[in-house]
Structure 1
Amino acid sequence: MPLLTGLTRGGKSWTPTFADAIDPEKCIGCGRCFKACSRKVLGPGDIYDEETDTERMVMTIVNSDNCIGCAGCGVTCPKKCFTFTTLEM
């Protein structure tokens, strides 16, 4: 099956890459990805660290159906926490 593709304004072929997962071990909860996403795909979440007996904030994918595949979240992430996927038509 062919990949879902589109065109840029300049007419070049473009394949969207959709946010698939965020690695909570790498995420520092800085919120840069949250600010970069205009589609409200991301939101804060907490994970419990058993070693330190504390909770820490991480970003999570809360509305995956809103993702348009721009990958802006991954570009802004200083820890490269995101995994992306392409879609087949």
Structure 2
Amino acid sequence: MFTRRDGKPWEPEYLVSINGETCIGCGRCFKVCGRDVMHLKGLNEDGELIDFDPEDDEDDEEFERKIMVIVNAGNCIGCTACARVCPKNCQTHTPAGELEAA
């Protein structure tokens, strides 16, 4: 357990999963996270994740939709900023104390 500047207790809640069925790939979580925890990927018709260049419009034909995926889980600091901006509530966070016990 940690404390905030004002002395109140605070426990980080780390991002542990993103529901690919619910995620709409809007990128809001990516924009608020400065830790490179997530990346946008394409999902093809077979349900496979594929890399793409967001700047290249021609790549749009190779996938059905975009979703956010966790690529560097260890970079997460548990601030939950990503969850606060997610319009679909598709992220799961776990308190640090519960992860240590696992």
Name the TM-score class by shorter chain.
0.7 to 0.9
Determine the structure 2 residue equivalent to 1:42: 38
Determine the structure 2 residue equivalent to 1:60: 69
Distance 1:60 1:11 in 2: 34
TM-score (norm 1): 0.85
Choose between structure 1 and 2: higher helix proportion.
2
Choose between structure 1 and 2: higher strand proportion.
1
Q: CA deviation at 1:47?
A: 1.8
Aligned-CA RMSD value: 1.3
Question: Unpaired segments of 5 or more residues in structure 1?
Answer: none
**Percent sequence identity over aligned pairs:** 45
Q: How does 1:6-21 map to 2 (within 5 A)?
A: 6-21=2-17
**For each residue in 1:23-77, what CA deviation from the matched residue of structure 2 results, as whole angstroms up to 9, or x when unmatched?**
0111110000000101111101122346xxx521100111100000000001100
Which of 84, 87, 92 is the equivalent residue of 1:83? Answer: 92
TM-score (norm 2): 0.75
Distance 2:68 2:39 in 1: 6
Q: How many residues align?
A: 82
Return structure 1 stretches of 4+ with deviation > 3 angstroms: none
Secondary structure, aligned partner of 1:46: strand
Q: Which amino acid aligns with 1:40?
A: D
